[in-house]
Structure 1
């Protein structure tokens, strides 16, 4: 069981560290080393995190803690963000990552249920996300929560063209 709470300014260095570690663990094969470093310095820099955490009306950073209060994962949700393909606005699940040592413990399900409740409380009508076309296990995970594939959008790194699958879950029912 994990504890989930909204991240604060005091969590910035923890989010930066865990974001860099988890992103490298999951995606180092799709970037060159310099491309990866550039992406991480843009996405998980202290300045970028400060700006994002400082805008709670637009973004919500969540931190997942184990029973010893150690950070084991995190998530970023963007509120009322237009979805590719349809343009309709909903809650975008932009990031949800856990340390590799914490995989297969059910933590992702707990965090996704928490996010769904937050989105419902904010009167968002759906949650959407994009996932790498090559990540079949992530797609199956989201399909288990009622997400459906809406289509594909382009995505490339400095190393390869991959593409993303856009998925959506209606929570207004």
Structure 2
């Protein structure tokens, strides 16, 4: 069973650890070692995470843990953020990462549904995200969940110009 819960300042170290580990597992190949470390220092440093977790209008950081209470994934959602290309405000799925050892267990679908439910509860009408053009598996996952391609935006690392696909999902409130 996957347990999904909002991260608090008390979870800072677990958030930093799973963030750095998952990002290295999935994206180290697109960066030089120094570029990767600079990215991790910027996005997952203690100071950056503390500030993000403690700000009143902060994004929602979520952690996911398995049956053994091991943190296996994280997500970051920004509320009412303007989507690139369209400018339409919606929930932005900024990050969703799982440890490679947690793959293939249906955790991603459960996490996505939880995020969609949270967005609907907050009154968001859409959920949007960006995915690396060089990551067709992730794009297929999002398409299977109902996301539609909106367009492309630039993205580069210190090694290459890769580009990102912008994808969006219209959210529907479940009445009943």
Structure 2 length normalisation: TM-score? 0.96
1:103 correspondence with 2:103: yes
Cα 1:56–1:109 shift into 2, 3 Å? farther
Alignment correspondent of 2:43: 43
Unpaired segments of 5 or more residues in structure 2? Answer: none
Take 1:163 and 1:53, find their aligned partners in 2: how far apart are those partners?
29
Alignment correspondent of 1:140: 140
Alignment correspondent of 1:156: 156
CA deviations over 1:126-148 (Å, ceiling 9, x no partner): 00000001111111100111100
Moved >3 Å (runs of 4+): none
Alignment of 1:34-73 (within 5 A): 34-55=34-55, 57-73=57-73
Take 2:141 and 2:59, find their aligned partners in 1: how far apart are those partners?
23
Structure 1 length normalisation: TM-score? 0.97
Take 2:106 and 2:21, find their aligned partners in 1: how far apart are those partners?
20
Contact 1:124 1:172 in 2 (8 A): no
Alignment correspondent of 1:119: 119
CA deviations over 1:88-137 (Å, ceiling 9, x no partner): 11000000011110001100011000000000000000000000011111
Unpaired segments of 5 or more residues in structure 1? Answer: none
Aligned-pair distance for 1:56?
A: 5.3
Secondary structure of the corresponding residue to residue 152 of structure 2: strand
Take 1:22 and 1:58, find their aligned partners in 2: how far apart are those partners?
22
Take 1:64 and 1:141, find their aligned partners in 2: how far apart are those partners?
18
Alignment correspondent of 2:165: 165
Alignment correspondent of 1:11: 11
Number of residue pairs the alignment of both structures matches = 173
Take 1:153 and 1:78, find their aligned partners in 2: how far apart are those partners?
18
CA deviations over 1:67-86 (Å, ceiling 9, x no partner): 12110111000001110001
Take 1:126 and 1:56, find their aligned partners in 2: how far apart are those partners?
23
